[in-house]
Amino acid sequence: MLDRLRRRPAALLLTALLPASLALAACGDGDEQLKGFDAVSISGAVGSTPKLDWKGKLAAGKRQVKVVTEGDGPEIAKGDVVQVDFTMANGYTHKVTYDAYDKYSLSTLVKVGTELVPSSFSDLLAAGIDDEIKAGQKIGTRIAVTMSSEDLIADYLGNAQAAQLIASKDIGNEDGLLFVADLTAVAGPSGTEEKAPAWAPKIVEEDGVPSSFDFKGAPAPSGKLEVAAIILGDGPKVKSGQNILASYLGQLPKEKTPFDESYADGRALAAVVGGADASVVKGWSKGLVGLPVGSRVLLQIPPSLGYGKEAQKDQAGKVTIPANSTLYFIVDILDVADPEPAPEPAEPASPTDAATGTPSGTPSTEPSEGASE
């Protein structure tokens, strides 16, 4: 996950943000340059990777926006949190840099009328188009945006990690970029409502989303992991080791306010659940693996599956979760993705050539087999 990024003045240039070793060349001489949507036509169904028919190189010019498909779903309003799937392509190389529809990518959440503060690579990219997702649009709408790479990056980067991520995706300083974004849903659970269990505290809502737990009348913690899907989703089931996208709220018993939550500002957590690479407490992994996307889940997590004897502190050093605390969570499972494949291990160095006595690693004047031409 990226460090939380903040807007920088628009006057900052990408060349000032990228290290010289990472800055990529702009479009080459002699290539036909076309402005905006003159460079590409877009087809395909909403909810799937768009088909792009390139007519030439996309010039890194002024931003252009158009509605490719008008949706027929609910109209979105200011403050709604919209689940967005998008594809980004480099208009110079014509390569797709990011595609939320592949099995390794998650959706992005955008709160309508609110600046997106990126906390992941997909957020960083989506921050370039969040202003184009507006009240009055309908779910099922597909929009397209062309812009320069400078337009995407200059407002957001004061962060070397993010600069390196952008450069690693083969995005040059003066490339034209194409975004195709689908407004797929208003973020939230979707499925069959189930009865809340007796152990669960009451959920308090504000503006239709969870804001806290009310523990009045709830029994004391059982000391065991308790899991209940109060909305059972109708999507694919979460497998151990997968990434999930989740809205969540966490609170301690008898406390009146959460120690953490994502609903108010439209954030989501991208996390690995289950397996050796899990990035959440064990109670999340044990409770969420096997449940389908679209579920709203209540968790009661004992200390042994939470933070145990380790107290948790905020950035100011204040204890927010004392040692040996039972944790209560609401979790909405919004999306799931497979982990990226591990890179292939490097081939071992060849042993010393017995005939020549040349040690391995000694530069050769002959190209190796399979070397790029």
Distance CA 142, CA 164 (A): 30
Q: What was the pLDDT predicted at 327?
A: 98
Q: Rounded to whole angstroms, how far apart are CA atoms 267 and 225?
A: 26
Mean residue pLDDT of the chain comes to 84
Q: Is the pLDDT of residue 277 over 80?
A: yes
- Burial category of 322 from C-beta neighbours within 10 Å (exposed 0-12, middle 13-18, buried 19 and up): exposed
126's enclosing H/E stretch is helix 121-126
Q: What is the pLDDT of residues 278-307, one digit of tens each?
A: 999 999 999 999 999 999 999 999 999 999
Task: Provide mean pLDDT across the span 90-113.
Answer: 94
- pTM, 2 dp: 0.82
Query: At 15, which helix (H) or strand (E)?
Result: helix 14-17
Closest CA to 290 of 340, 241, 224: 241
Domains in the chain with CATH codes: 14-186 (3.10.50.40), 191-337 (3.10.50.40)
How far is CA 59 from each of CA 17, 67, 153, rounded to the nearest angstrom?
21, 20, 16
How many of the other CB atoms lie within 10 Å of CB of 4? Answer: 10
Instruction: Give the three-class secondary structure for 226.
Output: strand
Rg (CA), the chain: 24
Q: Which range is least confidently modeled, 63-67, 155-159, 196-200, 349-353?
A: 349-353
Range name among 11-15, 35-39, 254-258 with the lowest pLDDT average: 11-15
| 56-85 tens-digit pLDDT | 999 998 999 999 999 999 999 999 999 999
Q: Which of 241, 290, 293, 245 is nearest to 267 (CA)?
A: 245
Report H helices in 145-263.
149-153, 160-168
Q: What is the pLDDT of residue 154?
A: 67
Using CA atoms, how far apart are residues 350 and 365, in angstroms rounded to an integer?
Answer: 16
Placement of tokens 């990035």 in the chain: 279
Instruction: Decide: residue 24, CB within 10 A, 0-12 exposed, 13-18 middle, 19+ buried.
Output: middle
239-260 burial, b for 16+ CB within 10 Å, e for fewer?
eebbbbbbbbbbbbbeeeebee
Cβ count near 56 (within 10 Å): 15
